[in-house]
Amino acid sequence: MDGKFKDNLSRVEMLRKIQQLEFAIVDLNLYLDNHPTNKKAIDDFNRFTEEFMKLTHEYDMKYRMFANFGHSKADPSWSWVDEPWPWEKGE
């Protein structure tokens, strides 16, 4: 197996892991919209987000920019859901 194929395989594996993490982050994001006080879900969200950030940074350094999304962790609470929604803000 030549080096180029081996590098491509690791790139494919890296992309697969990024996809898995991204799916979990989006799923947890939706879950937390309905269960904003679930500490385990917040902890999982932050752990997956941190791993996603590290892996996408590594991918960026090796290959190219992956995406401009998923580069911030959540506060200890999912409190943004308690703030007024855009259509609820008075002018």
Give the pLDDT confidence of 29-65 residue by residue, as tens digits.
Answer: 999 999 999 999 999 999 999 999 898 888 878 876 6
- Does the residue 75 lie in any domain? no
- Does the residue 16 lie in any domain? yes
Q: Higher confidence at residue 12 or residue 28?
A: 28
- Does the residue 4 lie in any domain? yes
Q: What is the pTM of this model?
A: 0.67
- Does the residue 88 lie in any domain? no
Q: What percent of the chain has pLDDT over 70?
A: 65
Range of the domain at 49: 1-63
- Does the residue 90 lie in any domain? no
- Does the residue 81 lie in any domain? no
Q: What are the angstrom distances between the C-alpha of 59 and each of 8, 18, 44, 49, 71?
A: 12, 9, 22, 15, 14
Residue 41's φ and ψ, nearest 5 degrees, are -65, -40
| Residue 4 clears pLDDT 60, i.e. is over it | no
Q: Write down the pLDDT at residue 46.
A: 96
| Residue 9 clears pLDDT 60, i.e. is over it | no
Are residues 33 and 42 in contact, defined by beta-carbon separation less than 8 angstroms?
Answer: no
Judged by phi (left if over 0) then psi (alpha if -120 to 50, else beta), residue 73 lies in beta
Are residues 29 and 45 in contact, defined by beta-carbon separation less than 8 angstroms?
Answer: yes
Q: Write down the pLDDT at residue 75.
A: 67
- Does the residue 34 lie in any domain? yes
- Does the residue 52 lie in any domain? yes
> Total structural domains in the chain?
1
